[in-house]
Amino acid sequence: MYQKDYGALKDRWLSYWERENHDKPLLCFTAPREGAAYMDLPKHASLRDRWFDTDHAVSRARRNIENTYYGGDAFPYAYANLGPDILGAVCGCELEYGESTSWAVHHVHDWGALPLITFDPNNAWFAKIQEMTRALLEDSGGDYLVGVTDLHPGMDALVSLRGPEALCTDLLDSPECIAPRIGQVFEVYKGFLNAQNDLIAAKQEGSTNWMGIWHPGKNWYVTSCDFSALISGYHFEEYVMPGLKYEHDLLPASIYHLDGPGALRHLDRLLQIPNLNGIQWVPGAGAPPAREWIRVYKKIQAAGKLIVAYCEPDDIAPVCEALAPEGLQLSCHAASESHAGELLKLAESIYEGKRRKVWA
């Protein structure tokens, strides 16, 4: 690991999950290393070939980790990545690839004509993710952690198959077609997630994923529904909540990724879920930064949930001044190692000042 004391780091993350980090939040601050030199992209016949090149994916992950400074409670990690619609692909859609992401090719025109959605362990997309994960585990050698790939079940998976506009129409015109598909997609998700967790748990302690949060168990995971920004509270309750119940009943620990102001209307309902541990609030592109959402973070803390927050450097002081440290995790990417160090000292000094006031 690129850490001075991994044992102490694990203790810090355990205290976070238990909301016992009374001294300060978990501070995961990163920056480019001094003299960082990023790798040139190799030649590939197509973008798809580049994404599917396992050796290139592993080399790129290691190079990115070597060129990143991990300050405070941050740790290096990597995960097999074929884009956010990979579960949809395992459920039957195709993917198209761009330079930095992929997207689903929606293929369902009639839910009634679609066969039962089932998990096939021989599925090519699933097999490639497993292959990449094995390669990362072999390469890591303790230098970094390997996480579970980016999986979106529930209504987001149905969006991959059907498309967002058509799925909105389905909720009005043929809602009876939706609920059975949510259950079918969950079974695919469960098979995929369990296979990833078993593979990773055999090689390393604890688990992580794209969110960069470490948990001592083998299958904590992110829950989410980006589609929720397009629907009412009624449809959220009727169609999103059943899928989330499947997931939260499966997972020993979970943090919900709440993305964008359009989805914020569902926060109160999410905070009522007893076995949901926390919320990652992401304001989204073009929205005000973290320091403008203090009321949201305070509501999450008041409900006894963990917080995962990404901050710009100018957010650090106001967010730290406003929020209690227990169950709070702040991430920030600084311009340089020295800048990251300054931000860490700033955050630590704010919480040290709060402790002095308490004992004064």
Q: What's the DSSP call for residue 115?
A: P
Kindly state the tokens that stand for 123: 């599925």
**pLDDT score at 6:** 75
Residue 236: other Cβ atoms inside 10 A: 20
Whether residue 336 lies inside any domain: the answer is yes
SS3 141: coil
**pLDDT score at 37:** 75
Rama region for 208: left / alpha / beta (φ>0; ψ in -120 to 50; rest): beta
End-to-end Cα distance, the chain:
40
Residue labelled with tokens 């396992």: 54
Which CA distances in Å does 42 have to 45, 95, 133, 228?
A: 10, 22, 21, 39
**Half-sphere exposure (CA, 13 Å, Cβ side) for 140?**
23
The H-or-E segment that residue 72 falls in is strand 68-72
**pLDDT score at 219:** 86
The total number of structural domains that make up the chain? 1
Phi, psi angle pair for 242, to nearest 5°? -60, -40
Question: What single-letter amino acid sits at 331?
Answer: S
| CATH number of the CATH domain containing 49 | 3.20.20.210
CA distance 207 to 94: 29
Task: Give how far the C-alpha of residue 74 lies from the chain's centroid of Cα atoms, to the nearest Å.
Answer: 15
Residue 100: other Cβ atoms inside 10 A: 7
Whether residue 1 lies inside any domain: the answer is no
**pLDDT score at 356:** 79
Q: Are 280 and 293 in contact (CB under 8 A)?
A: no
Domain range for 289 is 6-359
Taking CB atoms within 8 Å and a gap of at least 24, the contacts of 101-106 are 102/51, 104/159, 104/160, 104/161, 106/160, 106/161, 106/162, 106/163, 106/166
Whether residue 33 lies inside any domain: the answer is yes
HEC readout, 304-332 = CCEEEEECCHHHHHHHHHHCCCCCEEEEE
Indicate the angle between helix axes 178-201 and 154-162, nearest 10 degrees.
110
Task: Give how far the C-alpha of residue 80 lies from the chain's centroid of Cα atoms, to the nearest Å.
Answer: 13
pLDDT means over runs of 10, the chain (360 residues): 70 97 97 81 88 96 95 97 97 95 96 96 97 98 95 98 98 95 98 98 95 94 98 97 97 97 97 98 93 98 98 98 98 97 98 80
> In DSSP terms, which residues pair with 30 in a beta bridge?
70, 333
**pLDDT score at 1:** 45
Which CA distances in Å does 118 have to 244, 246, 313?
A: 19, 16, 45
Q: What's the DSSP call for residue 252?
A: S
Whether residue 144 lies inside any domain: the answer is yes
Max CA-CA distance within the chain?
A: 70
CA distance 117 to 256: 25
